[in-house]
């Protein structure tokens, strides 16, 4: 039996399998099996009303899970699937409440990672698969991250290498006449708007979006070590103050700092958004609990940094002016 065969057998038995995707690793269960889906919530410590994204092999399965599908949804699926785009649509009646959080909508995406795609093709159904980490913690982008998070509690971790995108999928709601960006991610906002021929409303919380979706909580994607964002001069002052108080400080920066203040441990970060996103979660995991505080230079506010800024806003404990 191949590892892929083993994964399919476990999923059909109602067990969990951690799977690689191009965004982050997911903790997968048969989306049509409420008892299996319940194991995701139990292992992650995830609130039961927090909906999950159903992963499918491609556009041919859209109608299995969603109904009243608008033309815009099919256009976006044709343009970006397989890929890091999740569509929120009206659910089919048979979709379990455990997947939707009791809402009348369902999130669907077709991942581009070849191993995830092969698994979905062989499994034949949909897989509910939130990120394979404890709820609210930094998402995993390697198989080892998942093993570090869950140990033997996850029956199987499929190793597909490091996730090439590094942040979660873009989530777009198409349940009414106004398309809404709920979570920026691997597909740029501008690319989606180009396909739709109109602007997306951007909602950054469950309250304004009036729908619960992954990644809309104020605190999410967070390391256990406090993370402080801000401009580099403010961070250098903060680092000096904390060093004087005897704290272990790590400064993470994109800009050149010349000769650093004596005693400040520091690391230069990737200058471009795509490279930065690919390394972000691995970076936070590597340094978590190795220092008393992490100080990170805030990225630019330009469009290509939208997804990274969204994640850092939710991961940070404090933001300096």
| Tokens (6 digits) for 229 | 């964002």
- The confidence score (pLDDT) of residue 150 equals 97
Task: Return the minimum-mean-pLDDT range out of 72-76, 123-127, 199-203, 261-265.
Answer: 261-265
Boundary (domain end) residue, out of 209, 242, 258: 209
Closest CA to 129 of 27, 244, 51: 27
Q: Under a CB-based contact definition with an 8 Å cutoff, are residues 264 and 239 in contact? A: yes
Same domain, residue pair 176 and 205: yes
Same domain, residue pair 198 and 304: no
Backbone angles phi, psi at 316, to 5 degrees: -80, 145
Same domain, residue pair 201 and 287: no
Q: Is residue 291 part of a domain?
A: yes
**261 pLDDT tier (thresholds 50, 70, 90):** low
Q: Is residue 17 part of a domain?
A: yes
Same domain, residue pair 306 and 260: yes
- The confidence score (pLDDT) of residue 259 equals 65
Structural domains of the chain, count:
2
**70 pLDDT tier (thresholds 50, 70, 90):** very high
Please give the average per-residue pLDDT across 123-143, as a whole number. 96
| Tokens (6 digits) for 152 | 């033997």
Please give the average per-residue pLDDT across 252-263, as a whole number. 79
Q: How remote is the C-alpha of 198 from its chain's centroid?
A: 25
- Residue pLDDT, tens place only, 224-233: 999 999 999 9
- The confidence score (pLDDT) of residue 321 equals 82
- Residue pLDDT, tens place only, 75-114: 999 999 999 999 999 999 999 999 999 999 999 999 999 9
- Residue pLDDT, tens place only, 153-189: 999 999 999 999 999 999 999 999 999 999 999 999 9
| Tokens (6 digits) for 267 | 């690391």
Q: Which domain holds residue 109?
A: 3-209
| pTM, to two decimals | 0.95
Say which CATH number the domain at 286 has.
Answer: 3.40.50.11030
Q: What is the rounded CA–CA span in Å between residue 225 and residue 284?
A: 9
| Tokens (6 digits) for 293 | 């505080």
Closest CA to 183 of 210, 207, 208, 205: 205
- The confidence score (pLDDT) of residue 262 equals 67
**260 pLDDT tier (thresholds 50, 70, 90):** low
Q: Under a CB-based contact definition with an 8 Å cutoff, are residues 282 and 220 in contact? A: no
Query: At 183, is the secondary structure helix, strand, or coil?
Result: strand
Fill in the DSSP letter of residue 177: S
Helix runs in the chain, H state only: 3-12, 34-44, 62-65, 71-80, 97-100, 114-123, 143-150, 189-196, 206-209, 232-244, 273-287, 306-315
Helix runs in 92-175, H state only: 97-100, 114-123, 143-150
The residue to which tokens 């704290």 are assigned? 247
- Residue pLDDT, tens place only, 182-200: 999 999 999 999 999 999 9
């Amino acid at each position: 039996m191949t590892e892929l065969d083993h994964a399919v057998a476990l999923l059909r038995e109602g067990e969990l399998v951690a799977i690689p995707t191009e965004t982050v690793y997911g903790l997968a269960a048969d989306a049509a099996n409420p008892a299996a889906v319940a194991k995701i919530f139990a292992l992650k410590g995830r609130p039961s009303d927090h909906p999950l994204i159903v992963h499918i092999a491609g556009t041919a399965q859209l109608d299995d899970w969603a109904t009243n599908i608008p033309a815009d949804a099919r256009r976006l699926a044709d343009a970006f699937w397989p890929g890091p785009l999740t569509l929120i649509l009206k659910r089919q009646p048979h979709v379990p409440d455990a997947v939707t959080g009791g809402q009348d909508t369902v999130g669907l995406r077709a991942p581009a990672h070849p191993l995830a795609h092969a698994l979905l093709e062989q499994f034949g159904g949909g897989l509910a698969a939130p990120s394979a980490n404890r709820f609210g913690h930094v998402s995993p982008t390697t198989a080892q991250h998942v093993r570090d998070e869950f140990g033997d509690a996850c029956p199987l971790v499929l190793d597909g290498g490091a996730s090439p995108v590094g942040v979660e999928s873009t989530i777009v709601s198409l349940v009414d006449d106004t398309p809404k960006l709920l979570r920026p991610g691997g597909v740029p906002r501008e690319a989606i708007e180009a396909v739709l021929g109109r602007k997306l409303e951007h909602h950054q919380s469950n309250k304004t979006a009036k729908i619960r979706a992954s990644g809309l909580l104020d605190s999410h994607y967070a390391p256990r070590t406090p993370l402080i964002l801000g401009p580099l001069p403010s961070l250098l002052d903060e680092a000096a103050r904390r060093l004087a108080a005897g704290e272990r400080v790590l400064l993470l920066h994109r800009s050149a700092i010349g000769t650093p203040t004596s005693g400040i441990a520091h690391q230069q970060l990737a200058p471009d958004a795509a490279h930065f996103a690919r390394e972000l979660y691995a970076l936070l995991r590597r340094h978590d609990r190795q220092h008393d505080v992490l100080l990170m230079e805030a990225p630019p506010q330009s469009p290509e940094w939208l997804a990274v800024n969204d994640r850092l806003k939710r991961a940070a404990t404090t933001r300096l002016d």
